């Protein structure tokens, strides 16, 4: 495996284990993470700049969700880039509502280390999930 391929596999293993410290070990201080979801649809959408901000945001997601499936088997690495379409199934810890979705991740590397992750989500599924959670929360 190439170094970027190994790093991305280990980052995804850290995510599955919901170990933010392990994951942070692979990110440079100036890491940029973009979640392409309008903040009106989900407040965690948008851009976080810097490793600490990115890890904090990922930590919020890990705290809110149990990972039931996170299939990254289709990973393609052509240094300085990597991409994968992820079949994911999460369970919202507070309500038990499941979110089955597809996520597309696009990584950029410099000197074989990840510097940017652009993440695309199925907006309709995110909206439906948020409505289900809101309905359980009540007025």
pLDDT tens for each residue of 99-132: 999 999 999 999 989 999 999 999 999 999 998 9
Range of the domain at 70: 3-137
Rounded CA gap, 103 and 42, in Å?
Answer: 15
Number of domains composing the chain: 1
Task: Dump pLDDT digits (tens) for 54-98.
Answer: 999 999 999 999 999 999 999 999 989 999 999 999 999 999 999
Q: What is the CATH number of the domain that holds 31?
A: 3.10.450.50
How far is it, in rounded angstroms, from Cα 12 to Cα 18?
Answer: 9
Residue 119 and residue 102 in contact, taking contact as beta carbons nearer than 8 Å: no
Taking the model in full, what pTM does it have? 0.92
- What residues contact 73, with CB distance under 8 A and at least 6 apart? none
């Amino acid at each position: 495996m190439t170094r970027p391929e190994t790093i991305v596999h280990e980052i995804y293993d850290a995510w599955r284990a919901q170990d933010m410290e392990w994951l942070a070990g692979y990110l440079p201080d100036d890491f940029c993470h973009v979640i392409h979801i309008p903040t009106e649809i989900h407040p965690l959408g948008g851009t976080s700049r810097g490793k600490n901000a990115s890890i904090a945001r990922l930590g919020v997601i890990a705290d809110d969700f149990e990972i039931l499936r996170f299939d990254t088997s289709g990973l393609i690495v052509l240094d300085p880039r990597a991409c994968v379409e992820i079949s994911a199934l999460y369970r919202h810890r507070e309500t038990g509502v499941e979110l089955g979705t597809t996520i597309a991740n696009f990584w950029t590397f410099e000197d074989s280390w990840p510097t940017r992750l652009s993440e695309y989500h199925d907006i309709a599924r995110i909206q439906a999930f948020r409505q289900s959670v809101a309905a359980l929360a009540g007025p």
